[in-house]
Each structure stands twice: as structure tokens, then as C-alpha cells.
């Protein structure tokens, strides 16, 4: 049984809004690290400027604000456990600080979702964050992020 075009369009819009929220969360985590702003401050900035409404009252960006806020706040709240899960899979002489700041933000948000969004299949989370990595990097970085998230996923979810 096939779904209606309206149902397909709704699913695509919801998927786009989730993907937009993830991208915005990665950008917010990066901004927090670069500026030492608090999560609350960065969330407020994004809600006002980047996830808000334009002059005509239309959404500036297709992003789910609740998912965005949950990822940013949850990543900050659980950062110690998240960083520990990432460091467990880095080469023994590597420190998380040696990773590119954008890669750190992508990995932290992805690991947060692996921990917190148990009902969401690991593969969906990995695909989303590897897609974000491709938006920022060419070359080996997206493969590195995919491999690390996959390993952390096995550690967390078995």
C-alpha cells in the first residue's frame, strides 16, 4: 500500500526540519566553543536570528526548534560522558582537543543523539551527521566521523 502524496510531503518536511535542527545544533555547539557563550545564550541567539521568523513572518530556516534546543542543551549537559565515549575510540595518543572544532561539534551532537534518542535507529543518526560532515568537509573527515560514530554506537547500543 502506497502513501498519499500529502503524507509523503509531510514526511519529507519533517525530515528536513529534523536535519535543519541538527545542522543548526552543530553550528551552535561550534559557536559556543569559539565564543565561550553559554548554551542558553547561543540557543536564544539561534531562536531569535537563525530559527526565527523573517520580516514577513515566514520561518528563516527549516529547522525544528524543539529538536535544536534538545540537542544543544543535552550535549552540554552530558558533555563529559559524550567526550569520554569519543575519547575511548580515538587513538591512544589523541586528545579530543586535537580534533577540528567542527568535527568535535558534529561528533558531540551525534553521540548525544546516540545516547538520548534510543528510539531512533543508529543508522539514521549516523547518516544525518555524516551528511552534515560532508557539508563542511571534503576528503577523509566524513569517513573518520562515520567510523568514529559507528564505533561509539556499538559501544553505547551494543
Sorted by where each starts, the structural domains of the chain and their CATH numbers stand as 5-157 (1.10.940.10)
> Which residue reads 541538527 in cell numbers?
22
Task: Measure Cα distances from 48 to 73, 78, 114 in Å.
Answer: 17, 25, 28
Q: Model-level pTM? A: 0.89
**DSSP classification of residue 119:** T
Is 1 a residue whose pLDDT tops 80?
no
Structure confidence at residue 47 (pLDDT): 83
Give the model confidence (pLDDT) of 22-31 as tens digits: 999 999 999 9
Is 74 a residue whose pLDDT tops 80?
yes
Amino acid at each position: 500500500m502506497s502513501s498519499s502524496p500529502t503524507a509523503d510531503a509531510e514526511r519529507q518536511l519533517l525530515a528536513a526540519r529534523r536535519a535543519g535542527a541538527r545542522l543548526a545544533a552543530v553550528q551552535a555547539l561550534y559557536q559556543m566553543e569559539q565564543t565561550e557563550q553559554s548554551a542558553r545564550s547561543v540557543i536564544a541567539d539561534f531562536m531569535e536570528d537563525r530559527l526565527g521568523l523573517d520580516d514577513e513572518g515566514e520561518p528563516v530556516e527549516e529547522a525544528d526548534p524543539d529538536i535544536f534546543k534538545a540537542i544543544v542543551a543535552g550535549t552540554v549537559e552530558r558533555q563529559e560522558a559524550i567526550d569520554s565515549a569519543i575519547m575511548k575510540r580515538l587513538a591512544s595518543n589523541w586528545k579530543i582537543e586535537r580534533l577540528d572544532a567542527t568535527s568535535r561539534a558534529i561528533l558531540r551532537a551525534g553521540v548525544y543523539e546516540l545516547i538520548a534518542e534510543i528510539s531512533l535507529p543508529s543508522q539514521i543518526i549516523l547518516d544525518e551527521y555524516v551528511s552534515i560532515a560532508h557539508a563542511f568537509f571534503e576528503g577523509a573527515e566524513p569517513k573518520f566521523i562515520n567510523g568514529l560514530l559507528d564505533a561509539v554506537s556499538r559501544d553505547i547500543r551494543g
